[in-house]
Amino acid sequence: MAGIKEVAARAGVSVATVSRVLNDSPQVSEQARAKVSAAVEALRYRPNAVARSLRTEATHTLGLIVGDIVNPFFAVLARAVEDEARRAGYTVVIGNADERPERQDHYVRTLLEQRVDGLLICPTAEVTPLIRDCAAAGGPLVFLDRTLPGLDVPSVRVDGTAAIGELIRHLHGLGHRRIAFISGPEPLSTGRERTRAYADAMRATGLRIREEYLEAGDFQAESGRAIAGRFLDLPEPPEVIFAGDNLMTLGALDEIRARGLRIPDDVALASFDDVGWFVHVDPPITAIAQPAEELGRRAVRALLERAEGRPVEPVVLPARLVKRRSCGETGRTQR
Amino acid sequence: MAGIKEVAARAGVSVATVSRVLNDSPQVSEQARAKVSAAVEALRYRPNAVARSLRTEATHTLGLIVGDIVNPFFAVLARAVEDEARRAGYTVVIGNADERPERQDHYVRTLLEQRVDGLLICPTAEVTPLIRDCAAAGGPLVFLDRTLPGLDVPSVRVDGTAAIGELIRHLHGLGHRRIAFISGPEPLSTGRERTRAYADAMRATGLRIREEYLEAGDFQAESGRAIAGRFLDLPEPPEVIFAGDNLMTLGALDEIRARGLRIPDDVALASFDDVGWFVHVDPPITAIAQPAEELGRRAVRALLERAEGRPVEPVVLPARLVKRRSCGETGRTQR
DNA sequence: TTCTGCCGTGTAATCGTTTCCACGAGGGAG
DNA sequence: CTCCCTCGTGGAAACGATTACACGGCAGAA
């Protein structure tokens, strides 16, 4: 493929001039500019970003490591990140950790070697040594959706505490008392936070927290199914199953349907994390909606500020309860 | 950040030796290897992939341009591509064209400048000049899911013709005669192919094709909703609405629900492209399932073969009809 | 002993850009 | 006329790796 040298030769100027034209520096005559443009066109020259990056120490690329791109929440997040990044002139490399720390580390390593200008991570579980190093090295790094304890890294996330409180009160108002929660993995900040919010809200509402009504899944559909099954097998099964993310909700729904139970009469269902099709389930599923797009955009902005050396403080966005019919009638339903 | 020079200095060897250790060449003594490893460790050295790529002319990176990452079909596709690529030692850069040719071109340009080792494109509509150039240049390029006419580029895709035929016969067997189709955009190969299959199958089954029962959407939910609305507004509305992708099915479902119509009694619904939650809609939605994972894997393999200069022939995978209850009772339902 | 070959190593060129610096031409001011 | 500044330009040194080539030492063969 033609390089800048060939272009220079064809245009009858030096490589320096070609480079100046390409980066439209003002320090170049109209004449030269025209000749170079013609040569570029004729040779179908495409600048080599690899060489450019080597010289300039900037790749105009951001890395994004998500838990699972097939999870609609992360898909929406990824699109928002990618959109905002493109607007700022950056390309995004997406890594799929599949919620596995070793895979997450694989991508961290690869992306660092690629010299991305910034890294957005939805951390999977543990603080790996590699992550600790990165945090210590102080490169542009921002945690997205989740945080890790004890590291000096800014994070952009959603706080669902208030919405969970509202949900529990809503359920209580509908007459439900036995509310079970399929929580997320203990090591994940989002898992811990939601569990805590559930427990606090139950207490605040004067409801008993039963050990057998609280079990941790792994944010994947299958665990939701299994745990819902165990809840339903209890001598005194819960009146409500509240699942900690949309995939576990899907799993729970599968299990409830497989047993031929009716929602909400036999058991009610609620989800942390809303997805488009919840309104089409019969009955539509009550859920806590997270502002995923906003989250993605804010994360990119925070990252870019960080990359420019400006200090950035954590961003915390609120979630919103969307009442539908899967927990019982409440007059009008929201979409 | 420390470079190979610092490592060499600290280990007391030359940069050549360090490089050889890093690429574990056999031509290096155990002793040197140990010293270098120690230095690498101590300095937390990370090879600079940018410099390496410049020298070796290989980035070990593949580009993937999808129509819309939020569409579950593409999300699954992207994960499969990314998975298979990782297995082969490649990183994937995902670009989101949002079904817009100019955005697709933006990514093609960017990825070419980044010197990706191969490019996987789900082409959006038209043959742009840029795409034509690429095809002509003969770089490693493979079309995924969709094809473009008149270009010498191998493609990996699904052929839903047989499944659509089966669906139409199934609907006919259930007593339906007035079958409307929300087709995809005319310029897209998948849109054209499905429309053609619908028309052929209708004819083959002895059903009339009515002009007012065939309208093209843009593979986004909103168009599905609008077109379904127009179908239902007809003096003689169809008995079945068959939508050309999962998002338009979602839109149609919205519209049907908004009108308070019952499925399948008032109108039946079928989808080209299956997604996980279809089984949870009441009633579960009959759909044609595409082997998205297989598609992604095959595409990567084809691309890598192409990159190695081996000739690759087009891959065409069959789709599969999954009968559920949204078109009427049929004895047992599949999951 | 001397020659041959291999093995481990180092020197330096190279990849395609950007950018610092120098240089010559031209023009305005003194 | 001379001086100086500006403007457009080109030469060449980076950037951080890989790798062709050369070289010295040592072992085995003659």
Which of B49, B79, B96 has the CB atom closest to A115's CB atom?
A: B49
Q: How far does the CA of B233 sit from the C1' of C26, in Å?
A: 78
The token pair that represents A55 in the structure block: 């010289």
Below-70 pLDDT ranges, chain A: 330-335
Q: Cα separation of A271 and A73, whole Å?
A: 13
Residue ranges of chain A that CATH labels 3.40.50.2300: 60-157+292-316, 159-290
Of chain A, the end-to-end C-alpha distance in Å amounts to: 54
**Protein residue closest via CA to C1' of C6:** B27
Cβ of residue B119 closer than 8 Å to a chain A Cβ: no
3-state helix, strand, coil in chain B (%, to 5): 45, 15, 40
Cβ of residue B335 closer than 8 Å to a chain A Cβ: no
The token pair that represents B232 in the structure block: 């239902």
Query: Would strands A155-159 and B240-243 be described as parallel, antiparallel, or unpaired?
Result: unpaired
Residue ranges of chain A that CATH labels 1.10.260.40: 4-47
Q: What is the DSSP letter of A289?
A: E
Q: Are A115 and B129 in contact (CB under 8 A)?
A: no
List CB contacts (< 8 A) between B113 and chain A: 46-49
Q: Are B11 and B21 in contact (CB under 8 A)?
A: no
For B60-158+292-318, CATH gives 3.40.50.2300
Residue ranges of chain B that CATH labels 3.40.50.2300: 60-158+292-318, 160-290
CATH architecture of A159-290: 3-Layer(aba) Sandwich (3.40)
Which of A92, A137, A280 has the CB atom closest to B253's CB atom?
A: A280
Query: Residues 6 or more apart from B259 whose CB is under 8 A from it?
Result: B232
List CB contacts (< 8 A) between A96 and chain B: 79, 82-83
- Which CATH fold would you assign to the domain B160-290? Rossmann fold (3.40.50)
Query: Residues 6 or more apart from B143 whose CB is under 8 A from it?
Result: B121, B122, B123, B153, B154, B155, B156, B157
pLDDT in tens, chain B (335 residues): 889 999 999 999 999 999 999 999 998 999 999 999 999 999 999 999 999 999 999 999 999 999 999 999 999 999 999 999 999 999 999 989 988 999 999 999 999 999 999 999 999 878 899 999 899 888 899 999 999 988 989 999 999 999 999 999 999 999 999 999 999 998 899 999 999 999 999 999 999 999 999 999 999 999 999 999 999 999 999 999 999 999 999 999 999 988 989 999 999 999 999 998 898 888 899 999 999 999 999 999 999 999 988 889 999 999 999 999 999 876 544 55
Q: How crowded is residue A114: how many other Cβ atoms within 10 Å of its Cβ?
A: 22
The token pair that represents A299 in the structure block: 């994360």
Q: Which long-range contacts (CB under 8 A, 24 or more apart) does B213-216 make?
A: B213/B178, B213/B179, B213/B180, B213/B181, B213/B238, B214/B180, B214/B181, B214/B183, B215/B182, B215/B183, B216/B182, B216/B183, B216/B184, B216/B185, B216/B186, B216/B191
Q: Cα separation of B152 and B136, whole Å?
A: 8
Of chain B, the end-to-end C-alpha distance in Å amounts to: 54
Quickly tell me which residue has 């919620």 as its tokens: A99
User: Which alpha helices (DSSP H) does chain A contain, by range?
Assistant: 4-11, 15-22, 30-43, 49-56, 72-87, 101-113, 129-137, 161-173, 189-204, 221-233, 246-258, 292-307
Q: Tell me, what amino acid is at B5?
A: K
Query: Residues 6 or more apart from B157 whose CB is under 8 A from it?
Result: B143, B144, B145, B146, B147, B189, B190, B295, B314, B315, B316, B317
Which residue of chain B is at minimal alpha-carbon distance from A62?
B93
Whether the upstream peptide bond of residue A284 has omega within 30° of 0, thus cis, is: no
Cβ of residue B87 closer than 8 Å to a chain A Cβ: no
Query: Residues 6 or more apart from A66 whose CB is under 8 A from it?
Result: A74, A77, A78, A94, A95, A96, A97, A122
Task: Residues B4-47: name the CATH superfamily.
Answer: lambda repressor-like DNA-binding domains (1.10.260.40)
**Protein residue closest via CA to C1' of C8:** B28
Q: Cα separation of A73 and A55, whole Å?
A: 38
Count CA within 13 A, CB hemisphere, residue B265: 5
Residues of chain B (42-81) having a beta carbon less than 7 angstroms from strand D: 45, 47-48, 51-52, 54-56
DSSP A10-33: HHTS-HHHHHHHHTT-SSS-HHHH
Q: Are A118 and A303 in contact (CB under 8 A)?
A: yes
Q: Cα separation of B264 and B276, whole Å?
A: 20
Q: Tell me, what amino acid is at A274?
A: D
3-state secondary structure of B187: coil
pLDDT of residue B333: 47
Length of chain A: 335
Query: Would strands A179-183 and A155-159 be described as parallel, antiparallel, or unpaired?
Result: unpaired
A53 contact to strand C (CB, 7 A limit)? no
Check B113 against A46: CB less than 8 A apart.
yes
Closest CA to A182 of A141, A147, A146, A223: A223
Q: Cα separation of A309 and A298, whole Å?
A: 17
CB contacts under 8 A, A 299-328 vs B, are none
Quickly tell me which residue has 């040779």 as its tokens: A43
Chain A closest-CA separation from residue B162 CA (Å): 28
Closest CA to A103 of B120, B37, B83: B83
- Which CATH fold would you assign to the domain A60-157+292-316? Rossmann fold (3.40.50)
Residue B290 CA, chain-centre distance (Å), reads 10
pLDDT of residue B36: 96
List CB contacts (< 8 A) between A257 and chain B: 280
Which residue of chain B is at minimal alpha-carbon distance from A76?
B70
Q: Cα separation of B257 and B199, whole Å?
A: 27
Q: Cα separation of B300 and B303, whole Å?
A: 5
pLDDT of residue A261: 94
Return the CA Rg of chain A. 25
Q: Cα separation of A190 and A244, whole Å?
A: 9
Which residues, in sequence order, are bridge partners of residue A320? A289
Query: Residues 6 or more apart from A221 whose CB is under 8 A from it?
Result: A247, A248, A250, A251, A254, B276
Q: Are A172 and A207 in contact (CB under 8 A)?
A: yes
